[in-house]
Amino acid sequence: MSSPLFTPLALRGLTLPNRIVVSPMCQYSAEEGSANDWHLLHLGSLAVGGAGLLMIEATAVTAEGRITHGCLGLYSDANEAALAHVIAACRRFGNVPLGIQLAHAGRKASATRPWQGIRPLAAAEGAWPTLAPSALPLDAGWPSPQAASSADLDRVTDAFVRATERVERLGLDLLELHCAHGYLLHEFLSPIANHRGDAYGGSRENRMRFPLRVIAAVRKAWPNGKPLGIRISGTDWLEGGFTVEDAIAFVHAAKAEGCDYVCVSSGGIVAKAPIPTAPGYQLELAEHVRRETGIAVRAVGLVAAPRQAERVIVSGQADMVAMARAFLDDPHWVWHAAEALGARAAMPLQYERARADLWPGATLVRPLREAAE
């Protein structure tokens, strides 16, 4: 039996061994933007778990673009050296393709770590000024960001390019730009956060201008053979907000700038929106974007079961499935999905003793555990 979830996918010069992606997940554990041994443990364990692609968390292109004091960055030589150490371990023991998500948090920057309760940092906690398309706070109680000047836009574009050069020096396989969840590039796209009166605000074409400028600049700095993707919020789920029609127009334009795939998420432009969360609630958006644009699509959001993920691929809703919390719950999700779907996934030699098909006569751990319940 062959499983469509476990078939390879080519994105430019990169071939993913299967369609399962470890979604980018902030760990809020970096120091001054630099990765440490937590990242080595976290990414290291996922790098040997058999996924088709492992995404490194949202990584800020400037210090002010971090969400929290614990967010990863790629804006200094120290950041680059620290991440090189983590990547070397992932490469030594695993062979999963490695991608990274570059981001700027916009008006959502200067916040506490989620486990401290999501709120803006106080001055005594080291708050910093934030930047956004317009001086509109995220919510009551949040500070007003500075409306980006044209010099700010030049500086941020340049920071995305410098970070891209670092990503290339680190030898990563794939680069993604965070245009979702209410962070800076999404803030430009959404009429909720973008009230500018210049060439970067107003009409849909104007709201797309800055994210497209960043995409074009990054594409130029990123090797031609390597895939570039974007993550978008397919809708703000708000009256007067960014819609799936806006998303389709943006993806068409991003594709024309050399984007190879889009990950369709949703929401995040305001602190509270009526999001209809339910299993696979973003899949329809993914399918819609895929049908209208023909770009490779990664679906995400409340997908956690192997057969559910398989259906996404078989039904043509998406080309890849990303999961976040399922991997926190079970870093060996891919091995268990392979077992359920009759497929094979990469596994380190050190762990093969758990599999009877590789070690004939070995006691299978899971049936043994289930029988002993």
Ligand X SMILES: Cc1cc2nc3c(=O)[nH]c(=O)nc-3n(C[C@H](O)[C@H](O)[C@H](O)COP(=O)(O)O)c2cc1C
Catalytic residue list: 183
Does position 96 interact with ligand X (CB under 6 A)? The reply is no
Specify burial of residue 151 (Cβ count, 10 A radius: 0-12, 13-18, 19+): exposed
CA distances from residue 75 to 41, 102, 132 in whole angstroms, order as listed = 23, 11, 19
d(CA 52, CA 16): 5
Give whichever of 52 and 201 is closer to ligand X, judged by the CB atom. Answer: 52
| The one among 323, 337, 343, 347 contacting ligand X by CB under 6 A | 323
Provide the strand spans (E) within the chain. 9-11, 14-16, 20-22, 53-60, 98-103, 131-132, 146-147, 174-179, 228-233, 261-265, 296-300, 320-323
| The one among 265, 266, 293, 317 contacting ligand X by CB under 6 A | 265
Does position 51 interact with ligand X (CB under 6 A)? The reply is no
Does position 298 interact with ligand X (CB under 6 A)? The reply is no
* Coil, helix or strand at residue 357: coil
Residues 6+ apart with CB under 8 A from 7: 18, 19
Number of residues that bind ligand X (CB under 6 A): 20
- Each residue 135-164 as x (binds ligand X by CB under 6 A) or -, in order, gives ------------------------------
Does position 35 interact with ligand X (CB under 6 A)? The reply is no
Residues 6+ apart with CB under 8 A from 182: 106, 107, 108, 138, 190, 193, 233, 267, 268, 269, 270
- The one-letter code for the residue type at 201 is G
Contact 251, 211 (CB under 8 A): no
| The one among 3, 68, 101, 110 contacting ligand X by CB under 6 A | 101
Does position 309 interact with ligand X (CB under 6 A)? The reply is no
Does position 24 interact with ligand X (CB under 6 A)? The reply is yes
Q: Which stretch binds ligand X (CB under 6 A): 9-17, 132-140, 295-303, 359-367?
A: 295-303
Give whichever of 201 and 320 is closer to ligand X, judged by the CB atom. Answer: 320
Does position 301 interact with ligand X (CB under 6 A)? The reply is yes
Does position 231 interact with ligand X (CB under 6 A)? The reply is yes
Q: Which residues bind ligand X (CB under 6 A)?
A: 23-26, 57-58, 101, 178, 180-181, 231, 265, 300-303, 323-326
